[in-house]
Structure 1
Amino acid sequence: MPDLWLPGAEVHDLGDHAPTDQQYPPKAIAHITWDRNATAAAPQDWCTYEELVGYFTGSGAGDAPHLVWDPFSGRTAQLLPADSRSKSLLSPAESPTRTNRAGRVVIQIEAVFFPYCRYQGRVYPRLVDTPCAGWGRIHAWIASWGVPDVWPMGRPVDFSGHRDESVWETRGGWYAHAHVPFNDHTDPGSWPDLTAGGGTQDPPPSQQHPAPPGDTTPARYQVSINGLPYGYGAQGYQVTAVGQALVSHGFGDHYRSGPGPTWTDADTENYADYQGSLGYSGQAADGVPGSGSLNRLLGYLPGQRSVSVSHVVSAARTDPGAEQGHRTYGSEVAIVEQALVDEGLLEQRWVDGSFGSRTVAAYAAWQRRCGYQAGAADGIPGQASLQRLGAARGFAVTD
């Protein structure tokens, strides 16, 4: 099965996954964000990639695509896995298809661009006038999902609409937003050539300067997964979590003093050994995590150090009675578990994102340390005790 997540993309999983309608052929939909109206006579400053990612992971989540792509730098954020529908198309009740689902995959890409945007002092009338950095990587990944290199309704060259329900339902390939039935948008206006790169997968921006032949220095670049950095020089609790998980899985031979919160060459070498055990090879086993291997190692993807009281309470009430290893809110629970380890109340091997019976017992011990007794020390987090743990171990607590 192809990768659900574009290799090298910044993963911001929105959840809310839903299947597509498999009776239709696979498709990719080309969009531009068109967040400002500019003209040749009155260009406007480009709206940044960070702003658009923030929008689609916040108030605009209801219109989110699979990919948000910066054609100037090649940075790409992925919000939903390839096998889920996304939400960038109108799908009115009168449409014969659920447009966001009408294919074995319906992968939607939003290029962060509007006509006559001004970027670093230069004005770009069309998307194809930009560097289109990272396009080959995106194209190859989408091709791996069986999307043919054809435009059934023609490659977009202007902002006119052309919609044909019969073609939409029966032919796979690339579609402009301007081609999708029962939609009114006319973007993207232009799109990179599908033959550019010949389907080869150009490396993400962090890997565009590979080591020279014969160089045995471990990989020294970083990636961002779920908003956190990984790779040489990265710092944070997530680095410690990876190192400790590598050791517990038997991949700690390169450590001399054990894992810590700063990513070193030893972390890279150990992670490369782990990637090799999964069957990865070449650049895919260079010791810098991808979201797929990281999820397999930890059982969850770490997130920013913020914990919701209601989430961990739900986990503490649900996980112990569920199937072994069940994770209700894995990334947040793992933050609490690591804090309990750091307080000497839980063994490192039980940091797995599941608020099971051992975590409940460890949290009860923390509550007793805070002065609670009897039923008030039942292992179910409360606002006050969780805030004290967060203050002690450096994470934020929300309701």
Structure 2
Amino acid sequence: MPELWLPGAEIHDLGDHAPTDQQYPPKAIAHITWDRNATAAAPQDWCTYEDLVNYFTGSGAGDAPHLVWDPFSGRTAQLFPADSRSKSLLSPTASPTRTNRAGRVVIQIEAVFFPYCRYQGRIYPRLVDTPCAGWDRIHAWIASWGVPDLWPMGRPADFSGHRDETVWESVGGWYAHAHVPFNDHTDPGSWPDLTAGPGIPGSPPSQQHPAPPADSSPARYQVSINGLAYGYGAHGYQVTAVGRALVARGYGAHYRSGPGPDWTDADTENYADYQGSLGYSGQAADGVPGEASLNRLLGYLPGQRTVSVAHVVAAAQTDPGAEQGHRTYGAEVALVEQALADEGLLDQRWVDGSFGTRTVSAYAAWQRRCGYQAGAADGIPGQASLDRLGSAQGFAVTD
């Protein structure tokens, strides 16, 4: 099964998932945000990606798409999984279909763009005049969901509407918002070429998701998930965490040493084996993590190496009494647990992001190592002991 979440996207899951209507063919819907009205004579400054993400995750959640895409940087936010409907189309009672659901998938993309926007001093009349950074990655992911590379009502070339209910109900492919029956918007006006391959101008290499090479050699590119790098050449504690989790699950056959903090071909090959165990195949099982598979492997998404005292105290007070495996602040707790494991105080298998009773006991042992006694070594982190652990294991501590 393809990834529910676009690899490398910033995930802002709005919840409220709902199934699509499977009797219709798969579709993708192209939008632009068109948040300002500008002209050639009166261009306006581009509205930022952050502003639009904040809008769709706030007051505009009722109109949210699957993807919010910045065509200048390639940054992409995902708000709904691929198999859920999103909410960017009108779906009046008079419509024969529920337009947001009329397909095996109905994946909607909002490019953060309006005609004649000004970005870094340059004016862009059409979306296709931008770098369209990251487009190949989005296109490949949507194609993996069975959306064919065709425009049943024609590739958008202007802001005129063309709507045909019969075509909409019977033909899968890409539709402009201007093509959707019972809607009145006429965007996007233009859209990148569906035949464009990896490496189009402006696509950051770290955000590309190319197909595996013909010689089946391990994939050698990176993605960024929650601000950390994964894939060949990535370095950091998160790489070690992935490797150890793979070994714990029985997917470490390609290691000759390690795992360690540097992502090698062995990490890629082991991760590909793990992806295959989840039912992924082809490009989706090339050994470079996607957010969904990484979350399934670790139970959390690693973050920057900063730990809040207040957060881990809350976790230490909450997780032991909650259901097994409960994670109050999973990414930060996992950092503390890994540090305790590296100090020889916690078995590696309990590095799971849950500050349960074993972690409390291990932290109490750390406190005793720091010289605390009796009630002062209760397993609940304090500023001083956490600072010492952070200094020993390389993470920063905040209030």
* TM-score category (smaller protein): 0.7 to 0.9
Q: Deviations over 1:256-304 (max 9, x none)?
A: 3312212122222322333333343433332221222222221222122
Report the AA paired with residue 345 of structure 2.
Answer: L
Structure 1 residue runs without a partner (length 5+)? 92-97
1:61 paired residue number: 57
CA distance in 1, matches of 2:384, 2:53: 29
Question: How far did residue 120 of structure 1 move?
Answer: 8.0
1:214 has 2:212 as partner: no
Instruction: Judge conservation of contact 1:159–1:186 (CA < 8 Å) in 2.
Output: yes
Instruction: Judge conservation of contact 2:137–2:209 (CA < 8 Å) in 1.
Output: no
1:296 paired residue number: 296
**Residues 307-386 of structure 1 mapped to structure 2, 5 A cutoff:** 307-386=307-386
Describe the shift of the 1:38–1:373 C-alpha distance in structure 2 as closer, same or farther (beyond 3 A). Answer: farther
State the aligned residue count: 387
SS in 2 for 1:10: coil
Report the AA paired with residue 273 of structure 1.
Answer: D
Report the AA paired with residue 352 of structure 2.
Answer: D
Report the AA paired with residue 125 of structure 2.
Answer: P
Instruction: Judge conservation of contact 1:147–1:172 (CA < 8 Å) in 2.
Output: no
CA distance in 2, matches of 1:303, 1:290: 15
Structure 2 residue runs without a partner (length 5+)? 92-97
CA distance in 1, matches of 2:141, 2:288: 19
SS in 1 for 2:110: strand
Instruction: Judge conservation of contact 2:237–2:261 (CA < 8 Å) in 1.
Output: yes
SS in 1 for 2:295: helix
Instruction: Judge conservation of contact 2:137–2:210 (CA < 8 Å) in 1.
Output: no
SS in 1 for 2:11: coil
CA distance in 1, matches of 2:216, 2:176: 44
**Residues 40-189 of structure 1 mapped to structure 2, 5 A cutoff:** 40-43=40-43, 52=49, 54-55=50-51, 61-62=57-58, 63=60, 65-71=65-71, 74-83=74-83, 107-117=107-117, 123-130=123-130, 132=132, 135=135, 138=138, 141-142=141-142, 187-189=187-189
CA distance in 2, matches of 1:235, 1:45: 37
1:19 paired residue number: 17
Question: How far did residue 308 of structure 1 move?
Answer: 3.4
SS in 1 for 2:68: strand
Question: How far did residue 354 of structure 1 move?
Answer: 1.7
- More moved, 222-231 vs 120-129: 120-129
Instruction: Judge conservation of contact 2:2–2:284 (CA < 8 Å) in 1.
Output: no
Describe the shift of the 1:176–1:382 C-alpha distance in structure 2 as closer, same or farther (beyond 3 A). Answer: farther
Instruction: Judge conservation of contact 1:346–1:358 (CA < 8 Å) in 2.
Output: yes
Question: How far did residue 12 of structure 1 move?
Answer: 2.5
Question: How far did residue 38 of structure 1 move?
Answer: 4.4
CA distance in 2, matches of 1:397, 1:148: 49
Report the AA paired with residue 280 of structure 1.
Answer: Y
1:94 paired residue number: none
Describe the shift of the 1:101–1:274 C-alpha distance in structure 2 as closer, same or farther (beyond 3 A). Answer: closer
Question: How far did residue 247 of structure 1 move?
Answer: 2.0
SS in 2 for 1:270: helix
Question: How far did residue 43 of structure 1 move?
Answer: 4.4
Describe the shift of the 1:59–1:343 C-alpha distance in structure 2 as closer, same or farther (beyond 3 A). Answer: farther
Q: TM-score, normalised to structure 2's length?
A: 0.73
CA distance in 1, matches of 2:281, 2:305: 32
SS in 2 for 1:292: helix
Instruction: Judge conservation of contact 1:10–1:227 (CA < 8 Å) in 2.
Output: no
1:272 has 2:268 as partner: no
Aligned-pair identity (%): 79
| C-alpha RMSD of matched pairs (Å) | 4.7
Question: How far did residue 235 of structure 1 move?
Answer: 1.3
1:95 paired residue number: none
1:246 paired residue number: 246
- More moved, 140-149 vs 300-309: 140-149
Describe the shift of the 1:254–1:155 C-alpha distance in structure 2 as closer, same or farther (beyond 3 A). Answer: closer
2:94 paired residue number: none
Q: TM-score, normalised to structure 1's length?
A: 0.73
Question: How far did residue 358 of structure 1 move?
Answer: 0.9
